[in-house]
Structure 1
């Protein structure tokens, strides 16, 4: 759900007008560029390749993309997919005896045995609230309340939060629906007037209002306002669909998406549910994430991912709604069991009723030498005070050693260097990486700019994979240490605290106070014995 949360601020987000082709706001590939050479706070990936890795050999690294699904036929991803060579495709058998039938490119923990997939889901808050309402009923006895005081207090808290959020969505849904209608109508009027299939800002600006009728003048003003506010038709449509979906599914107490899967949500059932259809009904988010990590750098198409020698394992776990702890735990285990050395997790939620399952899976991954990279979240909140799940802190208070939490950096200079939406935390966010206006792969062999800590996490995962690829003997702990210690420190940088205008020290927003940098990381790895 991380990407979706940015939609609340869509009218002040950093996108340009787009129709069929997107006009980029900043430099293409900026997340891989170098601050000194290119003027943007990228991760110096190109510099690392050009100056440090030019004549060095690499080995393939498996990176698991635990997400909402990935377009396995994308022109820039299809040659970079993990392929389970021990499995015979399409024979309906578990040839490698790993518990998963025909898992050629990964596994879908949201799939049914008949090949269908979960698309929409409730929020975790909604699921817990439903269980508690069923437990207490409309008129709970004093005895029942007294025996279950903690649960009853949680019920009150969740009911209040649920009512507020649902009311907010009931307000936003018609607003964005009308906003999108206005956009589409204005766009059609101007396309007809200019006799073009695609609109550009220059074309809109160039319309001579003295020669145009009232409808054209009004349409021009409407689209110019959208341009001024930084809103696009695609994002307004996405927002309208998002709020409608939230009301219909996320906040619907009676919606049961799990019928599609046919499992028992109260049991882990590793290897006993799901299917091998890893693209899913909406692979937008997962495809974008996968491209950042490892889109083909050598095919002269689209974009260049961070790591040039990568195998992307697709583990579909995140629906349009909140992921289940059961699926997250099993996804981590699947990735660790099948050779993933890096796991990217661009998702998160506020509640985790089965946190122990996830904690055990993280410990299992650590025992297998797997490094986990996680998005910090997009609520512009202090993670030290208001954590999201999953995270690196176990229920007993100890901390996972194989975990990096990443906040989002903008390409903008000075006070606007940090993404307005990014979570932060001197203790619980480790480092920042590029996460605003990142141009990457989307379904249908297309490319779009997206923003979120969902983008900053795979940028960091790409650097981790790069290190593992060229320095295969590095352990997960060593790679984490290198990434954090080699991050660029900017002690003089003052930025707006995410979510407001308060000016703070950038170094106070994360544990390292640093920005992920591939050049520095590779250099440090080369100097290690």
Structure 2
């Protein structure tokens, strides 16, 4: 018991240390690497140079995610509104197959307003399906075809059982810490004590003295009691969810949706609750892309002149291929020209359906931005889904989507710690890196938080793409991707390889571009590129940009 408690103490201290490591400004992702010493997008720099007399085209960006708080003070004015639909009349006025889809659609609910909150991981669903067929069977008696499938069953079973074992152990530890936290709050008589309150609190319980000491240490280092408590409670909820939902083969929430799940081509199901029961992740992503700029509230998003379409598809667990395919099609059919996808998983049993939707988006000139994932690993085409390579005969094919951008994450550091330690990477399959650590943005109920992940880096790029599609509407999705990559700022430096303690590699080996996204450079390049074409409809002409101030040497 004591050893486990020490493990938790170390874990909590580690979390605090990671939060305190980079004391960058809250808006660091908007700052300019050449002037401010952080690998930001140079958002503020480009807005100072854009001509005030010229306004870009409004761009719809779809956020395929956990849901978006469309009433948030910093998002309500930038939400996409389906003007062909009359709100709350129970009629599909625009006849697109979705009733009252005012701000988007959810593929995780039903017409009664009930919603899926938690779901399995995909590997758990695969295991549960094969378990019905193979549990208790002697593999020696199986046919050749069944033996191959049985091998998969064994693979999935091992992953799920190890996941359950790990989740159970971690849950026990955090249940103990949560109990100590609850006792500490009860003893203090408040859930928001001051540093002095903690120091004055006396107890003979050594466990309470231990957790009290951790809180004192954290507050003295710049944390707050509330933020540290939130880390404990979130960790407890995380492992509780893993054990009871994610890795639980007996849990199946799909009956809530009420679709024929076996029909991969079914499209018209769900409801119009685009916020859903847990919109934290999606609201944060939406704010990064387009939280209203210049309103002196909260924070500013990357893109101006943008409208956010919420397509709720991602539960607490793995998204389902059927829902992802339908979400992409819905976004394309309803006017989105950029789609942000900050989600991913390790298995994809219906990848051809997702591939078909990606091809549909490619045909309709819609750009897809995808987060590379947070495992600190070198990606391949069999451990990260969805991806841009189209499947052929059950294996990754040579053909890939030209409208797809894969994004890794940056810390607020222009030195050796620049690549976020959690970020996935690959010189062929990851295109660019963008800010993704300690990102301050919108969360539900008019709140704001720091979150991190490639989930935060992808919407940075989606926001830059929206700016390009706004001011250069004649650029195709493929061309926008080319501009993003070509204009990225190359980094000739050694960095600590994600997922390692101190192994150093050239930053250029972590992605195809070897660079970090920069909106100022992207707009400059797009102006030159578009300016060479005759007869195109453009907002910015060559020479419209105000001169860039000289970089600080």
TM-score exceeds 0.5: yes
Residue 162 of structure 2 is aligned to residue 170 of structure 1: no
CA distance in 2, matches of 1:136, 1:328: 29
| Aligned mate of 1:321, from 317, 330, 339 | 317
SS state at 2:87 partner:
coil
Tell me the residue number matched to 2:118.
120
SS state at 2:434 partner:
strand
Tell me the residue number matched to 1:3.
none
| Aligned mate of 1:361, from 348, 357, 377 | 357
CA distance in 2, matches of 1:355, 1:181: 43
CA deviations on 1:355-409 (whole Å, 9 max, x unpaired) are: 0000000000010100000000001110037531000011131111000000110
| Closer, same or farther: CA 16–214 of 1 in aligned 2, 3 Å | farther
Residue 33 of structure 2 is aligned to residue 35 of structure 1: yes
Q: Contact 1:14–1:436 at 8 Å: present in 2 too?
A: no
CA distance in 2, matches of 1:31, 1:274: 35
Tell me the residue number matched to 2:62.
64
Residue 423 of structure 2 is aligned to residue 422 of structure 1: yes
| Aligned mate of 1:106, from 104, 121, 124 | 104
Deviation of residue 14 (structure 1)? 6.3
Residue 467 of structure 2 is aligned to residue 466 of structure 1: yes
| Closer, same or farther: CA 141–165 of 1 in aligned 2, 3 Å | closer
CA deviations on 1:470-494 (whole Å, 9 max, x unpaired) are: 1111110111000011011011243
CA distance in 2, matches of 1:488, 1:60: 27
Q: Contact 2:494–2:504 at 8 Å: present in 1 too?
A: no
Deviation of residue 120 (structure 1)? 0.6
Q: Contact 2:61–2:340 at 8 Å: present in 1 too?
A: yes
Deviation of residue 146 (structure 1)? 2.3
Tell me the residue number matched to 1:97.
95
Tell me the residue number matched to 2:7.
none
Deviates more, 1:142-151 or 1:515-524: 142-151
| Closer, same or farther: CA 256–222 of 1 in aligned 2, 3 Å | same
Tell me the residue number matched to 1:494.
495
CA distance in 2, matches of 1:107, 1:153: 38
CA deviations on 1:133-171 (whole Å, 9 max, x unpaired) are: 112231245343423232111111111111111111011
| Aligned mate of 2:297, from 294, 298, 301 | 301
Tell me the residue number matched to 1:441.
442
Instruction: Show the 5 A alignment for 1:143-154.
Output: 143-154=141-152
Deviation of residue 454 (structure 1)? 0.3
Q: Contact 1:348–1:390 at 8 Å: present in 2 too?
A: yes
Residue 214 of structure 2 is aligned to residue 222 of structure 1: yes
Q: Contact 1:349–1:390 at 8 Å: present in 2 too?
A: yes
CA distance in 2, matches of 1:208, 1:167: 35
| Closer, same or farther: CA 53–31 of 1 in aligned 2, 3 Å | farther
Deviation of residue 213 (structure 1)? 4.1
| Closer, same or farther: CA 255–497 of 1 in aligned 2, 3 Å | closer
CA distance in 2, matches of 1:87, 1:15: 49
CA distance in 1, matches of 2:287, 2:51: 21
Q: Contact 1:172–1:243 at 8 Å: present in 2 too?
A: yes
Deviation of residue 220 (structure 1)? 4.6
Tell me the residue number matched to 2:518.
517
Tell me the residue number matched to 1:287.
283
Tell me the residue number matched to 2:388.
392
CA deviations on 1:34-91 (whole Å, 9 max, x unpaired) are: 1222221111011011124544311110000000111111000011000000111111
CA distance in 2, matches of 1:52, 1:476: 22
Instruction: Show the 5 A alignment for 1:210-289.
Output: 213=202, 220-226=212-218, 232-289=228-285
Tell me the residue number matched to 2:477.
476
CA distance in 1, matches of 2:502, 2:22: 26
CA RMSD of aligned residues (A): 2.5
Q: Contact 1:76–1:302 at 8 Å: present in 2 too?
A: yes
CA distance in 1, matches of 2:424, 2:239: 22
SS state at 2:390 partner:
coil
User: How many aligned positions are there?
Assistant: 509
TM-score in terms of structure 1 length: 0.91
Tell me the residue number matched to 2:549.
none
CA distance in 1, matches of 2:510, 2:330: 33
Tell me the residue number matched to 1:349.
345
CA distance in 1, matches of 2:522, 2:351: 33
| Aligned mate of 1:79, from 69, 77, 80 | 77
Q: Contact 1:497–1:503 at 8 Å: present in 2 too?
A: no
Tell me the residue number matched to 2:49.
51
| Aligned mate of 1:331, from 321, 327, 330 | 327
CA distance in 2, matches of 1:268, 1:385: 22
Tell me the residue number matched to 2:540.
none
Tell me the residue number matched to 2:538.
none
Deviates more, 1:497-506 or 1:483-492: 497-506
TM-score in terms of structure 2 length: 0.87
| Closer, same or farther: CA 290–461 of 1 in aligned 2, 3 Å | same
CA distance in 2, matches of 1:207, 1:88: 54
Q: Contact 1:184–1:233 at 8 Å: present in 2 too?
A: no
Deviation of residue 513 (structure 1)? 0.8
CA distance in 2, matches of 1:223, 1:256: 39
Deviates more, 1:335-344 or 1:173-182: 173-182
Where do 5+ consecutive residues of structure 2 fail to align? 1-9, 533-553
CA deviations on 1:252-303 (whole Å, 9 max, x unpaired) are: 1111101100111121354421011111110000000000000000321000
Q: Contact 1:173–1:243 at 8 Å: present in 2 too?
A: yes
Q: Contact 1:336–1:368 at 8 Å: present in 2 too?
A: yes
CA distance in 1, matches of 2:230, 2:469: 37
Where do 5+ consecutive residues of structure 1 fail to align? 1-7
Q: Contact 1:16–1:25 at 8 Å: present in 2 too?
A: no
